[in-house]
């Protein structure tokens, strides 16, 4: 399965070659991600150039389909963070410390930040810290959800991938409920497409 790095984004795609077509087609499979069909004689670099050209469209469509996995958290009263299918209250506080901290305690998320940061910097740091925390938890929790070897992977614009020896899951799935994650694992095992 080829992987294409475009800036900070990684697009893992499935490439299928056919003799009876004359142009490249891109299809977004809800589960498996990006599927590309290309003419048999089309060179790989031309296929990749087409994917690069369509990167913005791919990203917009993928995020629209899975908008629950790409929510940004705002610094506002009543803000919540999704984790394992529940939305937990977020408490934000400025601090005299120069570091930012993001923790989960007693059913609430806490984010502390230096008072020297601008509102935009606070929002960016909050989402960065939240993503790092969720990625770490995905690595821990996914392994507990199934008897197969389940590992988390970077966001490659797919929910997961079935390998010979296990399953890779997009770390962002840690925001969904355990039954939803297990359903995704089962769909990958059964090699479903949507």
Q: What is the mean pLDDT of each run of 10 residues along the chain (194 residues)?
A: 83 93 92 93 94 93 94 88 97 91 96 93 95 96 90 93 91 97 94 75
pLDDT of residue 43: 94
pLDDT of residue 3: 84
pLDDT in tens, 17-58: 999 999 999 999 888 889 999 999 999 999 999 999 999 999
DSSP reduced 3-state for 97: coil
* Whole-number Cα distances in Å, 87 to 66, 96, 107, 126: 17, 28, 10, 16
Domain extent listing, the chain = 3-65
pLDDT of residue 194: 60
Task: List the end-to-end C-alpha distance of the chain, in Å, as a whole number.
Answer: 18
């Amino acid at each position: 399965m080829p992987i294409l790095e475009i800036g900070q984004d990684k697009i893992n795609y499935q490439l299928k070659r056919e003799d009876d077509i004359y142009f490249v087609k891109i299809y977004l499979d809800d589960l498996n991600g990006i599927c590309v069909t290309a003419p048999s004689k089309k060179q790989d670099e031309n296929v990749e150039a087409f994917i690069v050209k369509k990167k913005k469209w791919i990203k917009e469509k993928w995020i629209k389909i899975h908008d629950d996995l790409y929510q940004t958290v705002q610094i506002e009263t009543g803000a919540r963070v999704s984790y394992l299918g529940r939305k937990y209250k977020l408490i934000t506080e400025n601090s005299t410390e120069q570091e930012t901290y993001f923790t989960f305690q007693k059913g609430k998320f806490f984010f502390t930040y230096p008072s020297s940061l601008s509102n935009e910097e606070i929002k960016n740091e909050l989402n960065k810290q939240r993503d790092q925390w969720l990625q770490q938890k995905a690595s821990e929790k996914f392994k507990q959800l199934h008897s197969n070897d389940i590992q988390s992977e970077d966001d490659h614009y797919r929910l997961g991938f079935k390998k010979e020896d296990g399953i890779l899951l997009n770390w962002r799935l840690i925001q969904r409920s355990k039954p939803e994650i297990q359903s995704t694992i089962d769909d990958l095992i059964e090699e479903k497409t949507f």
